[in-house]
């Protein structure tokens, strides 16, 4: 069993000391560090204490070794969507059912209807599914580890046309993408 304490703690911007202090009863940063690295066994009691400190359900703290974990693969910046140097595990606020994998686009710079700080969850689908994605926001891989992001406005043969969000953007045409990921859920902090 792999625990996700570190991923959740970092996603929430907390230090080991912060989590230790929030535990009831409080503990030490060293103990939290040992629990998240597996140097100390994560018992049911510790799961409940740490889950309370992180304000998540205890089940969020663990995952099976064989379970596919959704990944944050790109981020939206002033220069457009950029691939992350290394994809990282993403935290799902809720479980979305389907057979296709999920990817996440972290919005760092607002564009169109998207605001800085948003997370856009997208369902990764084969290119043959493109007709059902017309007029939906999609993330499309490009050559060189880059991505195109925007509204899918056209499909002809193996080519797809994507219109990036925001005023005055020009259509991007991608020939033969490996996959397309269709927007499924927007997560916005309140």
pLDDT per residue as tens digits for the range 32-57: 999 988 888 888 889 899 999 998 88
Average pLDDT in the chain = 86
The per-residue pLDDT for 163 is 94
The per-residue pLDDT for 96 is 47
* pTM for this predicted structure: 0.55
Q: Tens digits of per-residue pLDDT, 76-135?
A: 888 889 988 888 777 655 544 556 788 889 999 888 889 998 989 898 999 998 998 999
Kindly tell me if the per-residue pLDDT of 189 is higher than 90. Answer: no
Task: Tell which residue, 100, 104, 96, has the closest CA to residue 139.
Answer: 104
Q: How far apart, in whole angstroms, are the C-alpha atoms of residue 49 and residue 43? A: 10
Mean pLDDT across the stretch 159-167? 90
Cα angle value 26/32/36 (rounded, 5°): 150
Q: Which residue do the tokens 């799961």 mark? A: 47
Token digits for 36? 């998240």
Q: How far apart, in whole angstroms, are the C-alpha atoms of residue 152 and residue 186? A: 17
Q: Are strands 71-77 and 102-107 parallel, antiparallel or unpaired?
A: parallel
Under the banding of pLDDT at 50, 70 and 90, the label for residue 69 is: low
What residues have CB less than 8 Å from 133, skipping those under 6 apart?
125, 152, 180, 182
Kindly tell me if the per-residue pLDDT of 188 is higher than 70. Answer: yes
Q: Are strands 137-141 and 147-156 parallel, antiparallel or unpaired?
A: antiparallel
Q: Domains of the chain by range and CATH?
A: 2-63 (1.10.260.40), 71-187 (2.10.109.10)
């Amino acid at each position: 069993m792999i625990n996700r304490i570190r991923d959740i703690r970092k996603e929430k911007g907390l230090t080991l000391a912060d989590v230790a202090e929030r535990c009831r009863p409080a503990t030490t940063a060293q103990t939290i560090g040992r629990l998240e690295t597996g140097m100390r066994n994560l018992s049911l009691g510790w799961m409940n204490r740490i889950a309370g400190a992180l304000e998540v359900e205890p089940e969020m703290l663990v995952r099976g070794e064989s379970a596919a974990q959704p990944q944050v693969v790109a981020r939206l910046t002033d220069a457009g969507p950029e691939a992350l140097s290394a994809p990282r595990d993403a935290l799902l606020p809720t479980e979305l059912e389907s057979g296709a994998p999920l990817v996440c686009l972290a919005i760092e710079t607002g564009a169109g209807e998207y605001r800085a700080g948003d997370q856009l969850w997208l369902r990764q689908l084969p290119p043959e599914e493109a007709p059902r994605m017309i007029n939906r926001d999609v993330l499309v891989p490009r050559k060189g580890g880059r991505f195109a992001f925007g509204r899918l406005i056209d499909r002809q043969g193996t080519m797809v046309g994507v219109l990036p969000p925001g005023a005055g953007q020009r259509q991007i045409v991608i020939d033969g993408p490996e996959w397309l990921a269709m927007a499924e859920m927007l997560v916005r902090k309140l």
